[in-house]
Chains A and B, each alone.
Chain A
Amino acid sequence: MGLSRWDAKYTPYLIITPFFVVFAIFGLYPLLYTAWVSLHDWQLIDGDQGFVGLENYSRLFGDPNFWNALFNTLSLFVLSTVPQLLAALGLAALLDRGLRGSAFWRAGVLLPNVISVAAVALVFAQFYGRDFGIVNYLLGLVGIDPVDWRAETWASHLAVSSMVMWRWTGYNALLYLAAMQSVPKDMYESATLDGASRWRMFWSITVPSIRPTILFTVVTSTIGGLQLFAEPALFDPGFAANNSTGGSDRQFQTLVLYMYEKGFRLFDAGYAATVAWMLFIVVLLVAVINFSLTRRIASKG
């Protein structure tokens, strides 16, 4: 009796403890440490050079490169996430029909996600080559002049977000699919009897039923999308040559890339930590906004 009550009261805490322990050591500690570093003039190798208070933060607000990186981050995020999630939803709906060899199709759409990002970047760099890339070749067939994909802001954003979309659409589609599979089938049956169209059923039954998963993907892809690093870094041929500015005029330098430049290239760890903290706040803000926005839209459906 006593044991059972103890069980009901404390076991829940016991089983969520591992998460909090791991997070406290490997997540919270670095986060707080970074906050501490951001309040100092801190050189990467030589360490603390003295307390400066909020000086790094005030420098940051007046730093056009920071605002540029923030703009790029948001632009790349919107360009890659919105179409990606819509496409994933559509793809999941298609995969949810009674397909032959369903495992085969599922494996197929997930394939882009299993390839290492370095290989993906190499292949896409090849496709988007200015002089010899297949994309420019195809554009040439319909009479469009070759585009210098790395030189122009809009072009580089399109190229990088296509890479992100290609990698993650199938992944999100599978998450949706898993949720769709647990929508009770009698709901569809009665709707069919009422003569509802397939489109209508999708919006009024499927989408509301998988709303939690949609919220989930919105939050996770917000987090992932705002922390974009590998794709733009590898898209920039200058990255390997000690110049991580994300294009000749920082056209596609994201916040993480900027943080990397400051921290690892210029060894200004204090400032890099400041960028990191601002990024944290931006992610938090955008995730909350997206969460409430999606919740409202999805519940109307």
Chain B
Amino acid sequence: MNRRLVGSAAATLVMVLVAGCGGSSEADGKIELSLGLFSDFGYDKLIEEYMASHQNIKIEQRKVKMEQHNTQLATQLAGGRGAADIVALEEGVVSQFRASKDKFVNLAEYGAKDLKSQWADWKWNQGTADNGEFVLGLGTDMGSLGLCYRSDLFAAAGLPTDRAEVAKLWPTWADYAKVADQFTAKTPNVKFVDTGRNVYKAILDQTEEGYFAKDDSYIAERNDKVKSAFDTAAALGTKQQTGALEPFSQEWNVALKQGSFATTTCPAWALALIKAGAGDGAAGKWDVTTAPGGGGNWGGSFLAIPKQSKHPKEAYELAKWLTAPEQQKRIFKETGNLPSQPKVYQDAEVQATVNEYFNKAPVGQIFATSAESLKPTYRGTKDSKVGPVFASALTRVEQGKQSGADAWTQALKEVQDVVK
């Protein structure tokens, strides 16, 4: 290394230290709003339109993986700085952040309560605290439940393939398990379902109270519904009818591509993932019908505004606009994310939506019906901490490491560490 190099290095060093390289927040007099998102909210076009109609506002999206999004948000809330003006909170963690609601703006202060009637009651309630006095977030999409199946694999196993007839096969999850037995008897080399964990989650999502009672007390141990959901899923695992796959992981994608499982529980947003994973080769082979046990909800998010935002009012206006029914309808048509506003379901265009890839299934009708009949489960503050413990337990069963009973016992014990 020669002298000149060292000299210029020192110069760079000083420059960097003195100058500071970050962006300033007020560029050319415009109000800058940042939007902290994960995954695909489908906001790109909407945001451009909003900026065109609001000349004084500049919006930027920050998209990262959901897991990173949550870690970053927690750190930013703890550090008191750096969070986006609007942050997305997924259903699984919204209850966790609800416990720290004083770090967020109470949207009721800006009149959010007037909008209440837009959403399904349960969706509205998930995003509020203090008996509805504190409005933490405005609902975006929801994940009403369907069941996706491979019609070619069903045909090979001698099962019906038409979606109405398939739906008739499994009014309840017990019936679903019977179909699994028939399927496995005929085609033992193909797994019936990707993972028992999703079946478990779907069953649990159809009960009014799961791990927690509505007063937020922990009841999993004495709630028969949790046990029976666990047993149903564990039985599938014990009989080797599941692929023991981590949902939406790379292995799951490979299995989709290889066609090595025949059914999967699918909320509206999962159709795009199945299509992407299975690829063009499987077009028309996948189909979707109603799930056993009626509707349920898996996923969906909220838009919230951290207190550290410098422009809460403008942020609220934007969040309100993005979650309004008209915009939600457009997002459904473009991305397939199902709105959480019932009014949208009646819309003729929504009702008429079909999904080409899924054998032209009338997804608008299927998911809207499922959404309307939905009685969602109460999610306790610690729901997102408890859930993974039981998920791991089922994975142990599917991996053949433990019996269902042992896995259940261990899970109950482990969960104590989290709920106390």
Contacts and interface: CB of A to CB of B under 8 A. Distances in A.
A and B touch in the complex (CB under 8 A): yes
A267 B70 CA distance: 11
Contacts of B248: 241
Nearest to A239: B67
Given A237-B246, A241-B248, A264-B71, A45 B77 contact: yes
B100 interface: yes
A44 to B, nearest CB: 5
Contact of A45 (B74, B399, B401, B418): B74
Contact of B250 (A63, A125, A265): A125
A131 B252 CA distance: 10
B251 A248 contact: no
Residue in B78, B92, B393 with the greatest tally of chain A CB atoms within 10 Å = B78
A274 interface: no
B96 interface: yes
A106 interface: no
A48 to B, nearest CB: 11
B254 A129 contact: yes
A46 interface: yes
Given A242-B67, A242-B70, A265-B385, A248 B77 contact: no
Contacts of A238: 246, 388, 391-392, 395
B118 interface: no
A278 B71 CA distance: 23
B254 A45 contact: no
Contact of B100 (A46, A126, A242): A46
Interface residues of B, number: 42
A179 B318 CA distance: 61
Interface in A237-265: 237-243, 245, 248-249, 264-265
A47 interface: yes
6 contacts: A125-B250, A132-B251, A248-B396, A249-B402, A264-B74, A264-B75
Contact of A243 (B74, B96, B258, B391): B391
Interface in B361-416: 384-385, 388, 391-393, 395-396, 399-402
A242 B384 contact: yes
Contacts of A65: 417
Given A249-B392, A249-B401, 13 more contacts: A44-B74, A45-B77, A45-B103, A47-B78, A130-B251, A132-B254, A237-B249, A240-B249, A241-B248, A242-B66, A242-B384, A248-B393, A264-B70
A237 B250 contact: yes
Contacts of B92: 242
A198 B411 CA distance: 58
B57 interface: no
Contact of A248 (B66, B102, B395): B395
